A and B are shown apart, each in its own frame.
Chain A
Amino acid sequence: MDARNWEHFEHEADIGLAATSDSRERLFEAMGAALSAVITDPAIVRPRQRVRIRCSAPDNALLMVDWINALIYEMATRGMIFGRFAVTIEDSRLSAKAWGEAVDVGRHHPAAEVKGATYTALRVSRQDDGEWLAQCVIDV
């Protein structure tokens, strides 16, 4: 799994996703892993099926919301969980592949169902030292 630095942060009713990375694209991949980790351990998700995702938005923060919501939609409608991600971003257009498998309750023990990404505490920015960071609260 292409995991980068990600974590969950406290939010009263729901869950905050946060990540850092040395590149914008790896940042988006890390937030994908953070999203899957709300449901199960991404490391145990087998890359049995690949799904293509495309989205675009006027800025990085809105693109992050669209990316997370696209993952949520694909997981919900395919009955899948994703564990690995490969993201390419050109200007404001994101093109990605996500690998995963069908939800297996006995093995994944899914903890929650994600409703959608919100604009609460939404942030995607690049620090002076070049490191990218992102955060986003998702409704569960």
Chain B
Amino acid sequence: MDINRFERRDAFEWHIPPSGNMRVPAVIYADEALISAMDDKVYEQVTNVATLPGIVKASYAMPDAHWGYGFPIGGVAAFDANQGGVISAGGVGFDISCGVRTLLTGLTHAQLEGHESHLADVLYRHIPVGLGSKGEIALNPREMDAMLGGGARWAVAGGYGTPADLERIEEQGAMADARPDYVSERAKTRQKQEMGTLGSGNHYLEVQQVVEVFDAHVADVFGLHRGEVVVSIHCGSRGLGHQLGTEFLRDMAAAAPEQGIVLPDRELACVRIESELGKRYLGAMRAAINCAFANRQIITHLVREAFVRFFPEARLELLYDVSHNTCKREDHRVEGHMQSLFVHRKGATRAFGPGHADLPDTFSAIGQPVLIGGSMGTSSYILVGTSESEARAFSSACHGAGRAMSRHAARRRWRGRQLVDELAERHIQIRSPSSRGVAEEAPGAYKDVRAVVESAERAGLARRVARLEPIVCVKG
């Protein structure tokens, strides 16, 4: 994008003042190189979001922003239901509550040496991954509704993990006010055989090493130590979320004009939060969030089973589980007073700072972990939420690197088999059922995540705590 289209507030904050139908300004957090490299659709989409009814303060875009569906990916926008505010299925995304969780193994990289390839094989065989893979449990209708109401709590009650896991998940692992009865039969059918599956595309499971610590105190509280091994899981609500996204996008596109909402882009389909359809979407989306929680909880159990085969004493404690495609009702300070808002984070991660009531006791004094995935073969980062993040973007941060080129272009440039061999020479074990999928997920196809997290830190959104490098990567 041409930086002359923006008002530069400082090196990491760029404004688009309201014009036309915009009700609030648009604000992009990024350094000059990142914002210059963003596609022009980001400008169009972040300003379109600023036109929606009931939007509060600004329409935000994170340092990893890129072209999305209505909302930019990396978009954050909060709405006041009392001002006729809206909720948008496109502002949440197809993969509702796609997110990341990180497990602490307590093992050192040295302990893993010599086992990497075998561990990769075991993880690959043990966790269902890729198109056509099925989960080990198929839910009947009663179990499906229990899962959609109970999330990770349901999974723990079923023997997947421990109660201690729950306090390390947003919403303590179960989204309140979920309405399984608002989830369609088609969405439930699509999910029936997908519980505990990783999916494909940019979903992954990585065994990683902590290679750099930026904040020793916070890293210590998080349990991160240089040279130690962690495991990160990136996936979401699977077929159920995708089907709900499809259905509600369609319904909202039809309903918006009936509610007097002018859509600058059909993809920005939304409805009033207080409308019947708005309430239905909220209830269904909350159920889908629970589906993602349950899914990652089951996969966690499978990862623990795999590790125990090599290291019988390993416990794999959950550090934290974050989601980056949600709309949540949160209280935020706006112009000196607390306001209840519906905060959309589309490819953006919640980043509550120190003292927030929703944090587990262990993290209360320092803020929540913010887990930022890199791409296959590149660094990932763990950040911590900051006090100033609320004023910046309703306590939100980036979620990953974002793609630098299309899947099509990546396939033309790289061969999956060759990439696997090259990464093996760098001591990174890749396992995937799809050579073409590996090519599409080539490290070079993604932006530099280091620049994204540095911008996030300099913009006050979240602060770097540790950097991770991959050892094993299982991809769909």
Residue B329 at the chain A interface, CB threshold 8 Å:
no
Binds A, one of B3-11, B240-248, B303-311: B240-248
User: Does B406 lie within 8 Å of A12, measured CB to CB?
Assistant: yes
**Contact residues, B204-247 vs A (CB, 8 A):** 239, 242-243, 245-246
- Which residue, A11, A39, A73, has most C-beta atoms of chain B within 10 A? A73
Q: B267 contacts which of A39, A103, A112, A119 (Cβ < 8 Å)?
A: A119
Of the residues B67, B95, B192, B266, contact of A11 by C-beta under 8 Å: B67
Are B437's CB and A111's CB within 8 A? yes
**CB-based contact B69/A10 at 8 Å:** no
For the complex, give the distance between the alpha carbons of A10 and B408 in Å.
6
Q: Is B440 an interface residue (CB 8 A)?
A: yes
Answer yes or no: A122 CB below 8 A from chain B CBs: yes
Measured between beta carbons, the chain A residues less than 8 angstroms from B192 are 77
Residues of B within 8 A of A10 (CB): 406, 408-409
Task: Report Cα–Cα, A90/B134, bound state, in Å.
Answer: 38
Q: Across the interface, name the chain A residue whose C-beta is closest to B435.
A: A109
Interface residues of A in 8-39 (CB under 8 A from B): 8-15, 39
Q: Which of A's residues lie within 8 Å of B, judged by CB?
A: 8-15, 39, 62, 65-66, 69, 72-73, 76-77, 79, 102-103, 105, 109-113, 115-120, 122, 139-140
Chain B residues contacting A13 (CB-CB under 8 Å) are: 66-68, 73, 402-403
Contact B440 A112 (CB under 8 A): yes
A87 → chain B closest CB, angstroms: 20
Collect the chain A residues with CB atoms within 8 Å of residue B405's CB: 12
Query: How many angstroms from the CA of A115 to the CA of B239 in the assembled complex?
Result: 7
Contact flags (1/0) for B397-434 with A, using CB distance below 8 Å? 00000110111110000000000000000000000011
| Residue pair A115, B94 in contact (C-beta under 8 Å) | yes
Ordered by A's residue number, 10 sampled pairs between the chains whose C-beta atoms are within 8 Å are: A11-B67, A15-B408, A73-B186, A105-B130, A111-B436, A112-B436, A116-B242, A120-B69, A139-B94, A139-B95
Known: A11-B67, A103-B131. A109 touches B267 (CB 8 A): no
Residue of B nearest to A117 (CB): B246
* Residues in chain B near residue A12, CB distance under 8 A: 39, 66-67, 403, 405-406
- Which of B246, B266, B433 sits near A69, CB closer than 8 Å? B246
Whether the Cβ atoms of B242 and A115 lie closer than 8 Å is: yes
Check A115 against B131 for contact (C-beta < 8 Å): no
Task: Please give, as numbers and ranges, the residues of chain B lying within 8 Å of A72 by CB-CB distance.
Answer: 246
Contact A112 B186 (CB under 8 A): no
